[in-house]
A and B are shown apart, each in its own frame.
Chain A
């Protein structure tokens, strides 16, 4: 792969992406347009996150890639291989060892540090898109801080289901100014963005937008006065392997017995936990 420049993208492209990132950091929650190059993976498969990763990666960085909690799904492995092949940097599955963490739809269970950067892949950056199809108009609505559309969506959910049914991508208000889609992370992860020690970046390759939440920024999930925001609860449920209860759990079905059981969604966290406890190495 030596015919490619370091980190695949040419220097001009990386510079443009870094500029967009800087602007995003300067205006928390604001969607910065960027060019979005062709990538060797299809748009909508994490190209936004990948381009940010490639623009930021340096020779001493250690990369972790998560796909919905898993380090070893095809998408995560391929992205890791591409970055490693064009930079030669180390990759890891351990959240603590990583300096860059690119993720699809999860923020790790291990708390992030101020020397780490979290990069989330975003399918739809616009929180108002389902009420307003025109980009021209949504830009205006953001400029005028007119977010009734986002509130209306939640209100409609309450009317239909007597609760907000938005499981992932639950909209947040950043720094009391911009309403933002936090990418399809579960509501469980929304509080982790608030006052985070790490810089959190969002890349939408297909929609050509980059936005950011700088460290220690106020991030509030939208909620009506009498319907407070709630994260997913797993009352009476525990991870089948570790017995943990305070983590995000996946519901699975044993195909032989038809029995429902739960597992930690963050597989590397589960593995670390088991290793620390001295249990057999699970893979």
Chain B
């Protein structure tokens, strides 16, 4: 692909702690991503990524490898320590999104990004009706017309296979799979060009997993939405992702076409990961 990427991340780093002269040294020996001297955690280290229009990018890695932190940074749930991010749909990709004001970040989050969390509790207001949850993003994006928002929300609920009869029920009444689908509908409600999916199928039973994955694939095909999919489940990645990056201890250790990575892994860790697949 030679077109301009829709999202570019350059040297994104996220650390918890100040850092010290020991761990800031170039060849410092860390315990995984943890400085033994000052106890600073380097959750993400110099991550660079490109995401193209209509593409699904997979991120795999073991727990604690920094996948979710990266997603939280992209969705502004966490402040990035250093690094740059450019969105083609935001000032033509000429402004670093990580240094914008809180107001601008909120705008980017509400209009240009959609997020589906592993835990629906984080993404939904469990006591509000599902339809309000979906409308929330549209309200935040400035819509003040109830009928428009109801129509749009119902259309989305239909798209994610939830009966409109249940639209006024709060998500706490729903099963895990349904909650996940409400989250997806919410993420899509402001028509964002980019969707971030963080372990969306983890904890769901296999048939429900298949339904959710099917839905995601359909959305990508029909709506041409770009997605970043984080998972530790290689089967999910194999099914969804065009390209994949492998993370370990906060760093990208390998990236390439999903097939290539799964069939012919180069890095020792990736090899281990692929061959431990049941």
Contacts and interface: CB of A to CB of B under 8 A. Distances in A.
A159 B132 contact: yes
Nearest to B129: A159
Given A155-B139, A156-B129, A159-B168, A226 B145 contact: yes
B102 A156 contact: no
B149 interface: yes
Interface stretch (A12-20, A141-149, A184-192): A141-149
Given A148-B139, A155-B135, A156-B132, A224 B102 contact: no
A156 B136 CA distance: 10
Contact of B139 (A151, A225, A226, A227): A151
B136 A152 contact: yes
Interface in A208-248: 224-227
A151 B136 CA distance: 9
Contacts of A151: 139, 144
A225 B144 contact: yes
Contacts of B125: 131, 152
Given A144-B106, A152-B139, A226 B147 contact: yes
B103 interface: yes
A225 B149 contact: no
Interface in A116-152: 131, 140, 143-146, 148, 151-152
A145 B149 contact: no
Interface string B113-141: 00000000000010011011001100110
A148 B132 contact: no
Interface string A62-89: 0000000000000000000000000000
B28 interface: no
A160 interface: yes
A131 B147 CA distance: 23
A195 to B, nearest CB: 23
Contact of B103 (A131, A145, A152, A160): A145
B278 interface: no
Contacts of A227: 146
A136 B246 CA distance: 37
B146 A152 contact: no
Interface string B229-265: 0000000000000000000000000000000000000
Interface residues of A, number: 18
Contact of B128 (A144, A152, A224, A226): A152
Given A225-B145, A227-B146, A140 B128 contact: no
A207 B183 CA distance: 35
A162 to B, nearest CB: 10
Interface in B131-163: 131-132, 135-136, 139-140, 144-147, 149-150
A110 interface: no
A155 B139 CA distance: 9
A155 B132 contact: yes
A148 B168 CA distance: 19
Contacts of A252: none
Contact of B145 (A140, A152, A160, A224): A224
Interface string A145-175: 1101001100110111000000000000000
Contacts of A156: 128-129, 132
Nearest to B170: A156
Contacts of A224: 144-146
A131 B135 CA distance: 15
Given A151-B139, A155-B135, A159-B150, 13 more contacts: A143-B102, A144-B102, A144-B106, A152-B128, A152-B132, A152-B139, A156-B129, A156-B132, A159-B132, A224-B145, A224-B146, A225-B144, A226-B145
30 contacts: A131-B125, A144-B102, A144-B103, A145-B103, A146-B103, A146-B106, A146-B140, A151-B139, A152-B125, A152-B128, A152-B135, A152-B136, A152-B139, A155-B132, A155-B139, A155-B146, A156-B128, A156-B129, A156-B132, A158-B146, A159-B129, A159-B131, A159-B150, A159-B168, A224-B145, A224-B146, A225-B145, A226-B145, A226-B146, A226-B147
Interface of B: 102-103, 106, 125, 128-129, 131-132, 135-136, 139-140, 144-147, 149-150, 168
The 3 closest A-B pairs by CB, nearest first: A148-B140, A156-B132, A224-B146
